[in-house]
Amino acid sequence: MFITSESVTEGHPDKMADQISDAILDEVLRRDPYGRVAVETLLTKNLAVIAGEVTTRHRFDAEKIARKVIKEIGYIDSAYGFDSKTSKVQVFLNQQSPDIAQGVSQYREEKPESVGAGDQGIMYGYATNETPALMPLPIFLAHNLTRRLAEVRKKGILKYLRPDGKAQVTIEYQNGRPRRAHTILISTQHAPEVKHEQIKKDVINKVVGAVLSKKLVDKNTRFLVNPTGRFVIGGPEGDTGLTGRKIIVDTYGGVASHGGGAFSGKDPTKVDRSAAYAARWVAKNIIAAGLADKVQTQVAYAIGIPEPLAVNIDTFGTGKIPDEKLSGVVAEVFDLRPGMIIKNLRLRRPIYRQVAAYGHFGRIDLDLPWEKTDKVGELKRRLK
């Protein structure tokens, strides 16, 4: 069996849009932890459009935030097709609909157990013991490759690289476990004067070689770098970017199910975001407790109602106890009401732009509350 996952760099237009939306969210939460945000960003050649709903007591400059993000990503020259200084930024922000707000606004921190879900929806979490981050190996490697691609660009190790880029990893599995790397694909934007042969050599040596374990590579492993032969036009000049269009990159690389909603640009009252984080928290603790080799958590909500409509656990036949029994224990250990998720994971903090690129889960480089395995002891005690 083969499993393939992809990741994109922070300079990919869709990921640029995610980062701008989440940078606005962070700025609102920094000043007003109870601010409500649902912001979308669209990017095309020399234009960023920011639209959505924001309800907060404080003023902020969305255009200034967007330009700062674009600059930090690396679009600082019009030759790249987008420039943080000269590209146009348009802002269209309104207040949140009172019909939506009434389900979540009537209770604040004094009664978090009564906060209703900000929308209906089904959210999923996943974890597996095949990597130290408890993530599927293909997406774990793809994120590390794109992160390394950005690193060699920003540090000047490969000075001809430009911000846009992608990685795709195909892993061959045997008996449900990773066996070997079948194909490693890297596409990276570059300066026009650099030859394809040089790019391929440098990327394999400086990027792939720094990430991929030699144990996964054999004589049949394929390495593809810029397979069309040229990638000069990239970023918003080459393709329109939009918030929430890389949801499989954000989660588990297609290995697990995904609910209907994206994460970026949404404050934690939106269960699309907070409940997906909580579902990962549950799944990761189950794996860390040694109760299964892989597990998927599904949680369903109705708008305005605190209690989940349903919580389901699927260990794909790898569980050490029946899934039904595990589901009952999860319900006892984890409070999955939206207000309690927000409280227990401390989600009213400005922590979101940092996960808007290179994945929301398995981030061993960050201290994220939903990645903690702080319920392992309690799960084991209740199962004795």
Annotated binding site for K(+): 40
CA distances to 11, 32, 333 from 29, in Å: 25, 5, 28
Q: Which secondary structure element, helix H or strand E, spans residue 283, and what is its range? A: helix 271-288
- Give all strands (DSSP E) within the chain, no chain letters: 2-8, 36-44, 47-55, 76-77, 82-83, 88-94, 121-128, 161-174, 177-190, 222-225, 241-242, 294-301, 310-314
**CA pair distance 66, 50, nearest whole angstrom:** 9
Q: Tell me which residue has tokens 């930090």.
A: 72
Going by the DSSP 8-state scheme, the letter that residue 234 receives in this structure is: -
Binding-site residues for L-methionine? 53, 96, 239, 270
Enumerate the known binding-site residues for Mg(2+). 14
Q: Which phi and psi angles does 37 have, rounded to 5°?
A: -135, 130
Strands 36-44 vs 241-242: parallel, antiparallel or unpaired: antiparallel
d(C-alpha 74, C-alpha 146), whole Å: 15
What's the start-to-end Cα distance of the chain, in Å? Answer: 36
In DSSP terms, 7 is beta-bridged to 167
Q: Are 297 and 313 in contact (CB under 8 A)?
A: yes
The helices-and-strands tally (H runs, E runs) of the chain is 12, 13
Q: CA triplet 146, 149, 155: central angle to 5 degrees? A: 140
What single letter denotes the amino acid at residue 217?
V
List binding-site positions for ATP.
12, 164-166, 230-231, 239, 245-246, 262, 266
- State the binding site: 12, 14, 40, 53, 96, 164-166, 230-231, 239, 245-246, 262, 266, 270
